[in-house]
Amino acid sequence: MFEWTPELEASCPPVRGQGAPVDAKPVDDKKLLAAAGKTGTLESHAAEAEAFLAACNAKGVKLVDGAVDRLFAKYGAAGAIEIVALVGKAGVAFMGPIRQATIARVRHHLAHAGDYQAALDFVVGHGGLPPGLDGNPTQYQVGREIIAYLFPDHRPFFDAAIDQLVARNFTSSYLLGAVAGAQDVARFGPRGIGHPDRERHAVVVARVAREAGLPFLVEYTARSTGVPGVALALTAYVSPEAAASLALYIENKDALPIVRGYFAAHPELAAAALEPHTKSKKKKIRDAAASLLT
């Protein structure tokens, strides 16, 4: 049985027209320049991109939302996309939590932007990969994944990104967040999708693939229980198979509250899933399983 809840929906990135609009709080020019260690004015998109990255790297993730809000307020959706694409030229300087938070905020804006079509037209006009994300065409381009993630309703972007993933035999960083149904999930095949993509977007797989998404989540759990995002996605399935997979997460301190909540809601599945773990060689696992059974 598949049970989709408002809590699971809230954990998914918004698609076009869904979710609450952004509660925008743009950073003003003076604050951004100060954080970036610059003075004067920002007179080009390249200068904006440089200041954006410098300011966010200096102040951390806490500045990202306001900095992205500023781009949308000042330049509209197309201008914001172009500037964020230019930030991508920085390579390793635009990685980790800063990039993740930036892309998430941009997608939130695009889900409700009145000038969404202008942004889409801009990206389409650049062959689906705006300057700054194009990189070396002989290498794998994470930019294609990002564009597919930002515009999940435009399926040619997803097709181009998944084709590249298959051709280069790379793992995905954002592409699971762009899937639109079970047929998209199946296209990933046996490749080991990266931990960050599963962590952030396993719930998207559950939302779009529904019952057909369970084997995909179970297969990954059999190889790794280090990603609580997959555990969260598994809670959408009320079945012995899902319960058995969730039981594998009891050693993961971040996933344990998720597992506890699942078995509290579905106690009829607890015994079969957890009792085998009460005989584990690891005391930590035995104790966790016993506590969940009481």
| Together in a domain, 214 and 127 | no
- CA 266 to chain CA centroid, nearest Å: 28
- At 211-228, the pLDDT tens digits run 999 999 999 999 889 899
In a domain, 276, yes or no: yes
Rounded to whole angstroms, the Cα distance separating 55 from 32 reads 6
| Together in a domain, 128 and 53 | yes
Rounded to whole angstroms, the Cα distance separating 218 from 220 reads 5
| Together in a domain, 29 and 141 | yes
In a domain, 273, yes or no: yes
The pLDDT value recorded for residue 68 is 98
| Together in a domain, 188 and 141 | no
| Together in a domain, 147 and 21 | yes
8 Å CB contact between 132 and 88: yes
pLDDT tier at 137 (50, 70, 90 boundaries)? low
In a domain, 79, yes or no: yes
Kindly state the tokens that stand for 1.
């049985």
| Least confident stretch, 190-199, 220-229, 253-262 | 190-199
Picking from 151, 166, 190, the residue at the C-terminal end of a domain is 151
- At 103-135, the pLDDT tens digits run 999 999 999 999 999 999 999 999 988 888 876
In a domain, 175, yes or no: no
Task: Count the domains in the chain.
Answer: 2
Rounded to whole angstroms, the Cα distance separating 95 from 103 reads 11
* Containing structural domain, residue 83: 17-151
Query: Would you say residue 191 has pLDDT above 80?
Result: no
| Together in a domain, 94 and 211 | no
| Together in a domain, 184 and 268 | yes
Report the largest interatomic distance among the alpha carbons of the chain, rounded to a whole angstrom: 67
- State what percent of residues in the chain have pLDDT above 70: 96
**How many alpha carbons lie under 13 Å from residue 110 in its C-beta half-sphere?**
27
- At 24-70, the pLDDT tens digits run 999 999 999 999 998 888 889 999 999 999 999 999 999 999 999 99
The pLDDT value recorded for residue 193 is 74
In degrees and rounded to multiples of 5, residue 14 shows phi and psi of -70, 145
In a domain, 65, yes or no: yes
| Together in a domain, 133 and 204 | no
